[in-house]
Structure 1
Amino acid sequence: MWLATGTAAEGGSIWALIWPFLLMFAVFYFLLIRPQQKKQKQRNAMLNELKKGDKITTIGGLHGTIVEITDDTIVLRVNDTTKMTFERSAISSIVSASPTASE
Structure 2
Amino acid sequence: MLISNAYAQASGAAADSLGGLMGMLPIVFMFIVLWFLMIRPQMRKAKEQQKMITELAKGDEVVTQGGIAGRISRLGENYLGLEVANSKEGAIEITVQKSAVAALLPKGSLKNL
Q: Which aligned pairs between 1:1-103 and structure 2 lie closer than 5 A?
A: 4-5=8-9, 6-80=12-86, 81-96=91-106
What is the aligned-residue identity percentage? 33
Q: Letter of the aligned partner of 2:8 in structure 1?
A: A
Residue 3 of structure 1, CA deviation: 6.1
Moved over 6 A (4+): none
Counterpart Cα distance in 1 of 2:21 and 2:13: 15
With over 3 angstroms needed to count, the CA separation of the structure-2 counterparts of 1:21 and 1:72, relative to structure 1, is: same
Counterpart Cα distance in 1 of 2:42 and 2:25: 25
Higher relative contact order (CA 8 A, sep 6+): 1
Task: Give 1 or 2 for the bigger CA radius of gyration.
Answer: 2
Paired residues, number: 98
With over 3 angstroms needed to count, the CA separation of the structure-2 counterparts of 1:67 and 1:2, relative to structure 1, is: farther
Structure 1 range deviating more: 2-11 or 53-62? 2-11
Structure 1, residues 24-72: CA drift from partner, whole Å, max 9, x if none?
A: 1000100011000000000000000100000000111111000000110
Counterpart Cα distance in 1 of 2:6 and 2:24: 26
Gaps of 5+ in 1: 99-103
Normalising by structure 2, what TM-score?
Answer: 0.79
Counterpart Cα distance in 1 of 2:39 and 2:27: 16
Counterpart Cα distance in 2 of 1:42 and 1:66: 20
Q: Secondary structure at 2:85's aligned position in 1? A: coil
